[in-house]
Amino acid sequence: MAEAANAKFWDKVADRYAARPIKDPAAFDAMLADVAGRLRPTDRVLEIGCGTGSAAIRLAPHAAEWIATDFSAEMLRIARAKPAPANLRFVLADAATAFDGGPFDAICAFQVLHLVPDMPGTLAQIHAHLKPGGLLISKTWCFAEMGFKLRALFFVLRSIGLFPRAQTLTRSALRQAIGDAGFEIADERVFGTNPHGPYIVARKPG
């Protein structure tokens, strides 16, 4: 039920989301450069929650295969209309089917872990569908560490349907959840000036 409601929200806002400029292009470019540097030309990569495909289109040339999934048909409609590398596939998939075709060398989750209804379950699925030594590469909003006024604004926007349902995470809780899923955190940093969206690279032991 929660996933269906979230998909409905993203279908509704897809065009507005796609028209919105990236707030910090330099930070976005720096993050993508770091991701690209961690990939090998032979890697099979899964991206969950790919949205309108901006990251997938930029990163797919650095891997052998890139499968970008999302549960919003409208988001994928926009993504598929963009010029894209031949090794990139956009796939409509929910949490039950997003991991079909694994195991993968890397799984990317950009701005998505705070949006899933069951984060521990999603992290367990990611872990299960990575090869030994495979990477989880993520960027996640930690709303619990934002100021009260900003959190109150998000609450109001959510109550009137203008903001999605989201987990209220701290960075320590996020790190703990990733560790509990069986990962070893290999790197953690912030790109740009907003400290509340940590970029975390975690490795499946093996």
Strand partners, 46: 67, 107
- At residue 164, the pLDDT reads 54
The one-digit pLDDT tens for each residue of the chain (206 residues) are: 456 667 888 898 899 989 999 989 999 999 999 999 999 999 999 999 999 999 999 999 999 999 999 999 999 999 999 999 999 999 999 877 899 999 999 999 999 998 888 999 999 999 999 999 999 999 998 866 655 555 454 444 455 455 556 677 899 999 999 999 999 999 999 999 888 889 999 999 98
Which DSSP symbol is given to 61? G
Cα gap 98→33, rounded to integer Å: 25
- At residue 23, the pLDDT reads 87
Cα gap 48→71, rounded to integer Å: 9
Q: Which residue type is seen at 40?
A: R
- What is the greatest pairwise CA distance in the chain? 46
- At residue 1, the pLDDT reads 46
- At residue 153, the pLDDT reads 46
**Domain coordinates in residue numbering, the chain:** 2-203
Q: What is the CATH architecture assignment of 2-203?
A: 3-Layer(aba) Sandwich (3.40)
What predicted TM-score, i.e. pTM, was given to this entire model?
0.90
